[in-house]
Amino acid sequence: MIVYNLGCANDHSFEGWFSSADDFERQTTSKLLSCPLCGNARIGRLPHAPYVSTPAERPAEPAPTAKGVPHQYSNVGAELLAKLVDKVIESTVDVGRAFPEEARKIHYREAPERHIRGVASSKEVEALREEGIEVVALPVPPHRLSKTH
C-alpha cells in the first residue's frame, strides 16, 4: 500500500491509500477520486513523507480516544460528522450564495436574527471574520446540498 497526502481545489487535505502509484494515476484520470469533505473532483498530491506498507509491516492502528473510539483523519468520526451536518441542515435556513450579505444584515440588525447556512468563498469568509461576524466552515457532502428542511 502507498499512502498519499491529497488535496482538493478547495484546499481541503486528506489521506488516500492506493495499491500502487499507477492505481492512484488511474483513479485520478478516471475521476474516481473526490474530496471527502466537499466532493470536489480536482484532486492532487500534496508534499509528504511516503510510507509503503509491506506484508511484514502493518500500519499502526489509530490511537484510541479517552472513550476508546479511534480518531479518524480529521479527529472527527464520519458518523459524528454526518450527525452534525444533519443537525445544521435541520436547524438553519439555506441562503445559498447570498450568505455573506445575509450574515452582514443579521450582524448589523438589518434583518431578523436567525441561523443561516450558505456558500462563501474563502475571501468572503475572511472578510466576515474581520468584521467580527462569527462564521464556521462546515464541509457538506454534495449529495446533502439539495436536502432541505
Report the pLDDT value the prediction gives residue 143, as an integer from 0 to 100.
64
CA–CA separation, 4 vs 44, rounded Å? 10
Q: How far apart are CA 125 and CA 31, in angstroms?
A: 29
Q: Which residue has the cell 492502528?
A: 61
* Number of CB atoms found within 10 A of residue 57's CB: 10
Maximum Cα interatomic distance, the chain, rounded to a whole number of Å: 64
Cell representation of residue 122? 474563502
For residue 12, give the nearest of 63, 64, 71, 74 by alpha carbon.
74
Comparing 53 with 84, which gets the higher pLDDT? 84
- Rounded to an integer, the average pLDDT of 70-83 is 60
Tell me the per-residue pLDDT of 20-71, one tens digit each, with 9 for 90 and over: 888 888 888 888 888 888 888 888 888 765 555 556 555 555 444 444 434 4
In the chain, domain spans: 2-52, 78-145
- The answer to whether 32 and 70 have CB atoms below 8 angstroms apart is no
pLDDT digits (tens, 9 = 90+) for 105-146: 999 999 999 999 888 888 998 899 999 998 887 766 666 665
DSSP notation for 58-105: -PPPPPB-TTSPBP-TTSS-HHHHHHHHHHHHHHSEEEETTHHHHHHH
